[in-house]
A and B are shown apart, each in its own frame.
Chain A
């Protein structure tokens, strides 16, 4: 198994009593809740945490993109990836850029190419549709999300792989001169990973024989992770091939303490803040009309059952959404999940909600020293994300 230390870079100093006045930490929470002096410290703290993880033997570090909320402070992930590019050695996973939100997908082709060049080919390029709330924040039409995602992807891959200039004529984008400079360092292009909450259309698309992209199930109960990873494998079989573990991944928050009990006690306020304050969104905010097809809406609603209601640390551990305990417990649990779920990439969210710096650093260190070595596959392929 390959391990990536993933970070959301939340506004951990959020006044959690906001929920007495506001419905959500997304879209409508006034940005007066953000203090730039604290933000300055947080950004630099988080960069330190990711650089620390990179130095301890994770296969890579991961960042992502969110807009107008306290949940994640990386509206432009390329800025963060740029800050990390020169001082890290492992894979740099941007998981990912929200293709449908931008009016010019070529800025993403350019940004990713720059990172890939600076790092000498350490970029993992993540493509996502963005959280539904971001369609409110950026006023992008969610009913065209899938169409724009597909077309933007096709445009970016062609810009990376075909000699320019060429004319792109699409439904949503038209560019007379596509001629991306710089070209990506990795050839034909960086590995493409597709994180998702479980949209059926996205899974079917990622598993298609002409793509075989690595699919990542984001923060979800284990039962849902299994269902969606199984769906990917089934689609692969239909497409005439067998999906490998390297094509599948899972992202979950993890906390390791001295003992199961102390880990649970220490993590409790921070993971409950993550679930109940930072992820607090009503259904219509997180899944605006058209964001999911009518069929997918039903499946995701089932998978995310409980989100929006108050969740306890015990319930989150019970459902497998949160992996927490002593190093031995976490190691055994991950080994068991690897066997039953069949994924080859694990993205550990080692800072979540309000978890402070010292606890995060201990968490990163314990995961790197007490979990990764025992679970790393001796027969793993040379390059993470071998699927192109």
Chain B
């Protein structure tokens, strides 16, 4: 989808020998958005809103969506190393690194390993730390049940075409591979998140049934100086359910980092 001001498109790139599919549009400071357990189909309204000020880059993770599945992919740490390589391969500098769910976990691991070329971190309903309140067990859910649990109002979910439906089993398999045990967290991460020195925004859907919103405070407490943005009337994907509020909150945070 394109508008008069923003041209966005999807293309394949070779990174670390993996053919990775990337949605990209807009101009400005690069904003690398790492998706959660499902890759996106089309360019989304929240990407469009962010692209007014950013070069928005949204890859399908290796093993997810349209990207290839490399034999080496076992852990979130593997993806963190991969995305360091992607940042270098694409020649990105001064990057706003955003991640949702699994993607937030990858972003934390990446930033702890090497924050070079990163300007700020945005974590959205992020995995990575042990849940203090159990949510819906998505591994016990059908794709339709996960979809229902993911939104306060499932009518706001993007359309599910045959291509995306066909990717569900692939995405679920790779999500299990990297996040089954321990369940969506790394015990090492909690020990070292205090070393993170990037300006960080923790965004959470106030009605998240999968990673209940009490978890926002866990991240905020673990990361020095982190700010929290709770978006009302949204679930596990606040960026999809309230794209304008999400983009406005992220925009204000980035502006604050700049000043």
Q: Mark A residues whose CB is within 8 Å of B.
A: 135-136, 139-144, 282-285, 288-290, 294, 297
For residue B173, which residues in chain A have a CB less than 8 angstroms away from its CB? 143, 289-290, 294
A284 contacts B141, CB within 8 Å? yes
Question: Do A139 and B140 touch (CB < 8 A)?
Answer: no
Question: Quick check: B142 and A141 within 8 Å, CB to CB?
Answer: no
Q: Do A289 and B181 touch across chains, with their CB atoms under 8 A apart?
A: no
| Complex Cα–Cα for A285 and B142 (A) | 10
Judged by a CB distance under 8 angstroms, whether B172 is at the interface is: yes
- Mostly, the A contact residues are helix
> Which residues on A sit within 8 Å (CB–CB) of B180?
135, 139-143, 290
User: Does the CB pair A284–B181 fall under 8 Å?
Assistant: no
The reply to whether the CB of B175 lies closer than 8 angstroms to some CB of chain A is yes
Task: Indicate whether B229 reaches chain A with its CB closer than 8 angstroms.
Answer: no
> Who on chain A is nearest to B37 by CB?
A289
How far is A140 from B175 in the complex, measured between Cα atoms in Å?
Answer: 14
Residues of B within 8 A of A139 (CB): 180-181, 183
Not counting A142-B180, A143-B174, A294-B169, a sample of 13 additional A-B residue pairs whose C-beta atoms are within 8 angstroms of each other reads A139-B181, A140-B180, A141-B180, A282-B140, A284-B140, A285-B140, A288-B176, A289-B139, A289-B173, A289-B175, A290-B177, A294-B170, A294-B173
Residue on A nearest B177 in the bound complex, by CB: A143
With a cutoff of 8 Å between Cβ atoms, the chain B residues found around residue A294 in the complex are 169-170, 173
Min CB gap B185→A, angstroms: 13
Question: Roughly how many angstroms separate A285 CA and B140 CA in the complex, as a whole number?
Answer: 6
Distance in Å: Cβ of A284 to nearest Cβ of chain B: 5
Cβ contacts under 8 Å, B172 to chain A = 289-290
Q: In the complex, which of the residues B142, B176, B183 contacts A290, with contact meaning CB atoms closer than 8 Å?
A: B176
Q: Which of B141, B174, B181 contacts A140 (CB 8 A)?
A: B181
Q: How far is the CA of A285 from the CA of B183 in the complex (A)?
A: 16
Inter-chain CA distance A261–B203, complex, in Å, is 66
In whole angstroms, how far apart are the Cα atoms of A140 and B180 in the complex? 8
> Cβ of A289: which chain B residues have Cβ within 8 Å of it?
139, 169, 172-173, 175-176
Q: Are A284 and B177 in contact (CB under 8 A)?
A: no
Whether A297 lies near B169 (C-beta < 8 A) is yes
B142, A282: Cβ atoms under 8 Å?
yes
Please give, as numbers and ranges, the residues of chain B lying within 8 Å of A143 by CB-CB distance: 173-174, 176-177, 180
Whether A136 contacts B139 by the Cβ 8 Å rule is: yes
Question: Closest approach, in angstroms, between the C-beta of A250 and any C-beta of chain B?
Answer: 29
Measured between C-beta atoms, what is the minimum distance from A67 to chain B in Å?
16
What CA separation (Å) do A141 and B174 show in the bound complex?
Answer: 11
Interface pair A141/B176, CB less than 8 Å apart? yes
Chain A residues with CB under 8 A of B176: 141-143, 288-290
Bound state CA distance, A289 and B181, in angstroms?
13
**A-contacting residues, B109-139, CB 8 Å:** 139
* Of the residues B141, B169, B170, B181, contact of A141 by C-beta under 8 Å: B181
How distant is B127 from chain A, measured CB to nearest CB, in Å?
15
Q: How far is the CB of A199 from chain B (nearest CB, A)?
A: 14
- Within 8 Å CB of B141, what residues of A? 284
Please determine whether A284 and B169 come into contact, CB atoms closer than 8 angstroms.
Answer: no
Q: Which residues of B contact A140 (CB under 8 A)?
A: 180-181
B177 / chain A contacts, CB cutoff of 8 Å = 141, 143-144, 290
**1/0 per position for B152-189, CB-CB distance to A under 8 A?**
00000000000000000110111111001101000000
22 A/B residue pairs, CB under 8 Å, sorted by A: A135-B180, A139-B183, A140-B181, A141-B176, A141-B181, A142-B176, A143-B174, A143-B176, A143-B177, A143-B180, A282-B140, A284-B141, A285-B140, A288-B139, A288-B140, A289-B169, A289-B176, A290-B172, A290-B180, A294-B170, A294-B173, A297-B169
Chain A residues closer than 8 Å to B183, beta-carbon distance: 139
User: For the complex, what is the distance from the CA of A297 to the CA of B169, rounded to whole Å?
Assistant: 9
5 A-B pairs with least C-beta separation: A143-B177, A289-B172, A141-B180, A290-B176, A289-B176
Among A141, A285, A288, A289, find the residue whose CB has the most chain B CB atoms closer than 10 A. Answer: A289
Q: How distant is the Cα of A294 from the Cα of B170 in the complex, in angstroms?
A: 7
C-alpha gap A82/B243 in the complex (Å): 63
A288 to B177, CA, bound (A): 11
Residue on A nearest B182 in the bound complex, by CB: A139
- Residues from chain B with a CB closer than 8 A to the CB of A284 are 139-142
A139 and B140 CA atoms in complex are apart in Å by 12
Across-interface contacts of B175 in A (CB, < 8 A) = 289
Q: Given the complex, which residues of B lie within 8 Å of A135, measured CB to CB?
A: 180
Q: Which residue, B140, B169, B170, B172, has most C-beta atoms of chain A within 10 A?
A: B140
Q: How far is the CB of A32 from chain B (nearest CB, A)?
A: 20
The answer for the CA separation of A138 and B49 in the assembled complex, in Å, is: 44
Provide the bound-state CA to CA distance between A143 and B141, in Å.
16
Question: Complex Cα distance A140/B176, Å?
Answer: 10
B137 — nearest CB in chain A belongs to which residue? A136
